[in-house]
Amino acid sequence: MNTELSKKTCKPCEGGVLPLKQEKIEQMLKTLRGWEQSGKEIARTYVFQNYYETMAFVNATAWISHREDHHPDIEIGYNRCRVRYSTHAIDGLSENDFICATKIDSLFEI
């Protein structure tokens, strides 16, 4: 886990800021486990034992996202959940995406 990012909070983004450069994206992706870049977003699929675990994770992810005011696209199945982050206001990736990805991953450290 990237402890530096896990201590940060998301900054409001209403546009007017440039998306991260590809070099920075690649550098930040190396600090995350299982996340991949797909175009202008980062994504990870989490696999669980059952529906209850999946929904508990979705609810915890929603809580983190609400606190950070930075919300992912989430796709839910019986025992899996795909989380995708992008900063729509800048049509690309920002540090906020990586902050939230790190915080979601930290759920597994508890």
Domain ranges of the chain: 18-109
Task: Residue 97: name the closest of 44, 23, 49 by CA.
Answer: 44
Q: Global pTM?
A: 0.91
Percent of the chain residues past pLDDT 70, beyond the cut: 96
Strand partners for 75: 82
Q: Which residue has the tokens 């990012």?
A: 5
Is residue 1 predicted with pLDDT exceeding 90? no
- For residues 88-100, give the mean pLDDT: 94
- Tell me which of 13 and 45 has the higher pLDDT: 45
**What is d(CA 2, CA 33) in angstroms, rounded to the nearest whole number?**
10
**Count of Cβ atoms closer than 10 Å to residue 85 Cβ:** 23
Rg (CA), the chain: 13
Query: Out of 3.20.20.60, 3.40.190.10, 3.30.450.20, 3.30.1360.20, which CATH number does the structure's domain 18-109 have?
Result: 3.30.1360.20
Buried b (16+ CB within 10 A) or exposed e, 6-35: eeeebeebeeeeebbeeeebeebeebbeeb
